[in-house]
Amino acid sequence: MNHWIIAPVVLPALLAPLLAFVMRHDIVLARAASYVSVVAMAAIAIGLTMLEASGGTQVYFLGNWQAPFGIVLVLDRLSAVMLLLSALLAVVVLWHAIATGWDERGRHFHALFQFQLMGINGAFLTGDAFNLFVFFEVLLIASYGLMIHGGGRARMRAGLQYVVMNLAGSTLFLFALGTLYATTGTLNIADLAVKLQEMPADDVALVRVAAVLLLIVFAIKAALFPVQFWLPGTYANAPAPVAALFAIMTKVGAYSIIRIYTVVFGPDVAATQGIVTDWLMPAAIITIAAGALGVLGAKRLMPLLAFSVVGSMGTLVLAVSAFTPYAMSTALYYLLHSTFSAAALFLLADLVVSRRGNDALTAQPPIVQNGLFAALFFAAAIGMTGMPPLSGFLGKLMVMDGVRDQSWMAVAWTAILVGSLITIVGFARAGSVLFWKSTSISAPTLAEGAADTSQAERVTAMQLVPTMAALGVLAVLSIFAGPIAGYMEATAAQLFDSSGYINAVLAPAMEGLK
C-alpha cells in the first residue's frame, strides 16, 4: 500500500492537537507549524495527482483490513484533484489570515484550520459512506469554531443557524445510512454498488428512500434550493479568510453527489434511475436564479459575494445533473474555477472592508489605494460573473456545451445566460458604488467622529499576495484550459467506469477468499 494516501488526513489530525495544547501561547510557532503543514499537504497532493495521471485507482486499507469490513481510503483522479484543490486553497487562505492578523483575533484558529482540512481531505478520500458522515461531522465542528472566530453577535447568530441546519442534515444522513445498511448489509461504497446492482426490483423501495435522503443531505452541504438559505448569512458574517476557505465546503457536497450518484446509484442502477436528474436539474435552475437575484438586491458587499457563491453552485450542479461523462468534465472544470474565484473575492473584500470600516454598498470617501482595489475587484468580478478573458467565461461555455444534448437545454442555457447578466449588473453596481462614486466625496464632508478612510493603512505586498495568487489561478485555468479540460475529461471517464473503482476496492478481498 502507498502510505502517502493517508498523509493528507493524518498530518492535520496529528498537528491540530499540538497547535491547540502545545503552541497556543506562541503565535509565531503556531503560524510556522501550520503553514509548513499546508505547504507539505500541497506537495503531497501534487505528488498524488501526478501518481494518478496514469488513471489507476489506489486503495489504502487501514489496519490492513480488507473491504468491505475494514475502513478504506480510495485515491483516483477525482479525489486527487480535490485534494490538490483544497491544499492550494489552504496555502492561499492561511497566508492571508497570517498577513492580516486574522489568526490572532480569536483562540485556536490554527488548530481549527487543521481539523477543517482533515475533514475535507477525509471526505474526498473515504471509500465508505459511514466514514463520509464522520468526516462531515469533523467539518461541522471545526467550521463552527472558525465561523465564530473573533466573536460578535451577528457572527454567533449566523453560526447558530449554520449549526442547526447542518445538524438537521446530519440526522437525515444517519437515517439514510441506517436504511441503506438495513437493505444491503454494507456501507462500503464499492460494495454498495455491487449489492444494488444485484438487488431484486421488488426490494428497491427503501433504497429509493435512502437515495432521496442522501440527495437532500448533499444538497444542504452544496447550498442548493430549497436548502440554500443558510449560506448567505454564514458566509457574509464569517471572517473573510474563513469564508474563502468555505469556498471548498460547498464543493464537498457537490463531490459527494458526484461520487455517490455515479458509483453507488449510477445510471445503470434500475432502483434509482431518473431520481437524481429529476430533482437536481430544477433545484440547480432555481439556485442560479436565487443567487443572481441575491447579488442584484444585496445592500452589503459580503452578502453580495455570498449570493454569488450560491449562483455558482447552481451552475456547477446543473452540469452535474446531466450525468454524462462530458457534462461531468465541464462541471469539474467549473468547480476549479468557482472555488478560486470565490476565494479571491472574499480575500479582496477583507482588504477593502477593513479600510472602509464597513461593507455597506453606499458611497463613502475613497480609501487609500482606491485604484488598485478597483482593478482587483474588476478582475475578480469578471471571473465570478463569467466574462472573458478569465476562466469563468470558458467554464460557463463548457457547461452550456455539456448540457446541449439534454431535453432541458433551452431552460439551462436561459438560466445560465440570464443569471450571468443579472450577476454582472449586481457586481457593476457594487463596484461603481465602492470605487467610483466614492471619489466624488471628500474626507472633510464626513460626519463628526467618523473615520477618514483616506488615511487608512496601506495594503502591504504580503497582504496582496493571496488575492493575486487566487486571481493568478483563474488566469492559469484560462491559459491552460485545453490540457486541464482534457484531464477533467479523463477524470470523468474514469468516474463513469465504476468497475475500476469497485475492482480496486473489492478485488483483494475476493482473492483472499480463493
Phi, psi of 389 (to 5 degrees): -100, 5
160 Cβ contact partners less than 8 Å away, ≥ 6 residues apart:
none
**Is 383 buried (19+), middle (13-18) or exposed (0-12) by CB count in 10 A?**
buried
Residue pLDDT, tens place only, 455-484: 567 888 899 999 999 999 999 999 999 999
pTM: 0.92
Give the pLDDT of residue 337. Answer: 95
C-alpha distances in Å from residue 4, one per residue of 73, 461, 466: 11, 35, 27
166 has a pLDDT exceeding 90: no
C-alpha distances in Å from residue 222, one per residue of 46, 71, 297, 309, 497: 26, 25, 22, 10, 25
Give the pLDDT of residue 485. Answer: 94
511 has a pLDDT exceeding 70: no
pLDDT-derived band at 267 (thresholds 50, 70, 90) equals confident
The span from the CA of 29 to the CA of 33, in Å, is 6
Peptide bond into 267 cis (omega under 30): no
Written as nine digits, the cell of 247 is 469556498
DSSP code of residue 201: G
pLDDT-derived band at 447 (thresholds 50, 70, 90) equals very low
Helix (H) or strand (E) holding 212: helix 205-222
Average pLDDT score over residue span 149-153: 74
Residue pLDDT, tens place only, 313-323: 999 999 999 99
Distance between terminal CA atoms of the chain?
21
354 has a pLDDT exceeding 90: no
Q: Which residue has the higher pLDDT, 356 or 201?
A: 356
Written as nine digits, the cell of 181 is 445498511
C-alpha distances in Å from residue 495, one per residue of 195, 262, 323, 362, 508: 19, 7, 11, 47, 20
Written as nine digits, the cell of 31 is 503560524
Decide: helix, strand or coil at residue 9. helix
Give the residue from 513, 504, 512 showing the smallest Cα distance to 193: 504
Residue pLDDT, tens place only, 47-79: 999 998 887 889 999 888 887 788 899 999 999
pLDDT-derived band at 289 (thresholds 50, 70, 90) equals very high
pLDDT-derived band at 165 (thresholds 50, 70, 90) equals confident
Neighbours of 376 (CB within 10 A): 23
396 Cβ contact partners less than 8 Å away, ≥ 6 residues apart:
315, 334, 386, 416, 420
449 has a pLDDT exceeding 50: no
Give the pLDDT of residue 446. Answer: 44
Residue pLDDT, tens place only, 85-130: 999 999 999 999 999 988 888 778 999 999 999 999 999 999 999 9
Written as nine digits, the cell of 294 is 441575491
Decide: helix, strand or coil at residue 360. strand
* Phi and psi based region of residue 126 (left: phi greater than 0; alpha: psi -120 to 50; beta: remaining): beta
Give the residue from 126, 132, 119 showing the smallest Cα distance to 180: 132
DSSP code of residue 65: P
Phi, psi of 324 (to 5 degrees): -120, 155
DSSP code of residue 126: B
